[in-house]
Structure 1
């Protein structure tokens, strides 16, 4: 009986230790690149709802998405999805998002990226072309999903 209890405790601790294992540098880099790829894909002239859903699938069910500059926080996937679907009514001529620099930490990655786009927002009468450099931080949960996104606009 003592052996069985010891085995159960050892197994429990092993599983718990594995669950708290931080993502490797290679995994963090891959997740950062997947995030930027999904962000880029969801901002194209031919973006689909499936592209939006793929982007949202990178997030945990209990996430926080903060737009620091605009003091906006989103915590529900349905709200995030609704906002992205609304942007499908914008006329996108092109959008290119490229990673400039990565900084990695324990289950977190900071991404400095440049976005160059030409868009006619549905609420405006003119076309806007812009290039901006921004920083985002992605914090990951134990399943490798984004639990906290902070958008620091340039």
Structure 2
């Protein structure tokens, strides 16, 4: 009986340690996502910051930013489309700051981060001055250690 009890406790401890390791990995991924994503918004952001951010994503990543992008479909060239879209806006801000408010881990398949951001700049297409302050939540779906779906929600 002692042997069975010991074996049962060992199995439970192993699962508990494994779950903690996964949460630590996802917490690290959330921090890395936030720091690389916000780096792409900095006034002097370059392709170096953009590529560091894109390295966290699957090639077929889906990006949904409501209300601007309602489609959350994954496509084989999802990362390439994000690179093209983000390159267009790279360096558009003259001021940018962000603060991470909360991180939520959902088993080993999803992360949600809530943050505030403030930006000033010039829109690259219409050349009009822009300024905004907002609170957002990004919900990230994880697949094999990479971000497969990004959903942005405004408060």
TM-score between both structures, scaled by the size of structure 2: 0.76
Residue number in structure 2 paired with 1:111: 113
Gapped regions of structure 1 (runs ≥ 5): 1-20
Deviations 1:56-79 (A, max 9, x none): 111012322112322144641111
Where do 1:49-88 residues align within 5 Å? 49-70=47-68, 71-73=70-72, 75=75, 76-88=78-90
Cα distance change on mapping 1:97 and 1:138 into 2, 3 Å: same
Q: Count residues with an aligned counterpart.
A: 132
Gapped regions of structure 2 (runs ≥ 5): 1-17
Task: Give 1:153 deviation, angstroms.
Answer: 2.4
1:93 and 2:91 matched: no
Rounded to whole Å, the distance in 2 between the matches of 1:72 and 1:115 is 24
Cα distance change on mapping 1:57 and 1:126 into 2, 3 Å: same
Deviations 1:67-97 (A, max 9, x none): 232214464111110111111262x211112
Rounded to whole Å, the distance in 1 between the matches of 2:50 and 2:71 is 19
Task: Give 1:148 deviation, angstroms.
Answer: 1.3
Residue number in structure 2 paired with 1:133: 135
Deviations 1:19-54 (A, max 9, x none): xx7762221111111111011111111111121111
User: Is the 2:40–2:90 contact (alpha carbons within 8 Å) kept by the matching residues of 1?
Assistant: no
